[in-house]
Structure 1
């Protein structure tokens, strides 16, 4: 095996990514070396490239990319649950000083990955990890979503939002989701009742769908004033608000006067702290089971990108102009020559 590989590197803040040859990593104890077939991109990758994501602790220059799908090619010492040739997926790099997935190979902690869903392509599987883990940590780990509950998802057509909708439905909840007029048909196709947030105020849809009681679980994937709206729409006493973007300054009074609860979701924590990594692998096995049972899919942007188009792909993610998740394919016949 060649001891070098191609990778897309953010060399300095706000500079274009550069595709060049670097040393291929060697798996350390507890790691596996994965031949990357596809690298899923997320808005955080754009923030890191812009030098605007201090919470990700990823100093530049760095190889970007948190999500991946690929094939195990080599095992580090102590790894017993994977073998060369296994197809895997995971959120396993790109922050905290670790190499990202926008490269031919990546050495990853074996606890962070899981067998790839059989019913998803490598491209689709690479789009799932971060958004599904974020959905699960809120809905299941914090709120214990279950049958008989009403769940409201703010931003139901987004990456995390579509996972929240599908996961809540798979666990028997009745699901409602807000979106813009252009996204309502997609939200309905996921099986949720669609709410046009631009044309209906919180109190109106709370009255219409819950007889004024409020929703059992409200998952905010948007942040800002949308989180404030979530506090106003949750059920008294037993209601639970979740947010993966609760980073601003908010008044807790509307939530407190309802006697309801709030949980913040910070999906990166196991990668940054080293604690709880096994749980991420377990969550991804749940994702694979749902996908293989036909209960989980992911909307992909129809535009296809090779490594040589990394800047274009990242621009698409940052500007939010795509029609689904953006993925870079490294083993799909797309050119990977440096631009």
Structure 2
């Protein structure tokens, strides 16, 4: 099969399309899936730059997000048959091959039926961001109806899904964006208030929107100084969830004086730690989201697609931070 193989840590040029051995089933609950599309996420570019979590297992195939058609099933597989469409977040961290290739082997317990109303490209864009936003808002942030939430980078991959999930929970949403075009985009997704962060001071804008109270929950998808700058915009005893590691220079005084509850969200933990039940729970999240998608209540924005041969260009575009929604490799191109 063809795959985009990471030959060493470095720039996009280290991703080389070459022939790779066809994956085979290792146990009886696995599926072999013919990949139709693979989502590209910031974790992919980070692993490409610095090396995978398993540097002794090189070369590697990146790509956590995939959507495709079941081709072969193990003898104990219960839910899926050849021809079924599935989507999932599995592999691509360095120990198991990822989705930047024509085939992958995955455990049936960790995949979900593909939403029937969207393309494989859109489905491949969805898993990591759906699980991340769901866990951050619902599990870590305990978001409730009637609360007010600040979502950073609302036009991004995680952000555009988080806006919709927050609205489905009955929350009011304020989000930061970098342009008027992106502001229009997030309003179409349901955002109640937008802040052009390049020209507007975040904290006064949020406090004005909340009549001086601050938001109940802030969701940081940006990292760096954004986390610390957000603390004064959160109400006393409020919640802050970040998907990035807090910077060593973060000052915690405001967070402490406001008695904020700080939560860290890393949806890759179950896969990295080999946690079976937690990976199954994430597959259940994808099943619930598939129903929301097919009901028309949740939309996945694909910003741009690339063929497998142009995976390096896809990485370069993602690293600019200029896209709306997700970037996807279309393996049918």
**TM-score scaled by structure 2?**
0.92
**C-alpha distance in 1 between matches for 2:125 and 2:6:** 21
Are the equivalent residues in 2 in contact too, given 1:96–1:271 (CA < 8 A)?
A: no
**More divergent stretch after superposition (304-313 vs 38-47):** 304-313
**C-alpha distance in 1 between matches for 2:92 and 2:142:** 30
Are the equivalent residues in 2 in contact too, given 1:227–1:246 (CA < 8 A)?
A: no
Are 2:198 and 1:198 aligned? yes
- 1:15-164 aligned within 5 A: 15-29=13-27, 30-50=29-49, 52-53=50-51, 56-57=53-54, 59-164=57-162
**C-alpha distance in 1 between matches for 2:221 and 2:319:** 16
**C-alpha distance in 1 between matches for 2:37 and 2:309:** 13
Match of 1:235, SS?
strand
Distance change in 2, residues 1:154/1:53 (3 Å): farther
Match of 1:216, SS?
strand
**TM-score scaled by structure 1?**
0.91
Compute the displacement of 1:180 (Å): 1.4
**C-alpha distance in 1 between matches for 2:19 and 2:203:** 56
Compute the displacement of 1:166 (Å): 0.6
- 1:285-324 aligned within 5 A: 285-302=287-304, 304-324=305-325
Match of 1:301, SS?
strand
**C-alpha distance in 1 between matches for 2:206 and 2:3:** 49
Count of equivalent residues: 324
**More divergent stretch after superposition (264-273 vs 21-30):** 21-30
**Partner of 2:267 in structure 1?**
267
**Partner of 2:281 in structure 1?**
279
- Structure 2 unaligned runs (5+)? none
**C-alpha distance in 1 between matches for 2:288 and 2:245:** 26
- Structure 1 unaligned runs (5+)? 335-339
Compute the displacement of 1:290 (Å): 1.3
Q: What whole-Å deviation, never above 9, does each CA across 1:177-225 have from its counterpart, x for those lacking one? A: 0111342111212111111222322331233111111111110100111
**C-alpha distance in 2 between matches for 1:136 and 1:53:** 28
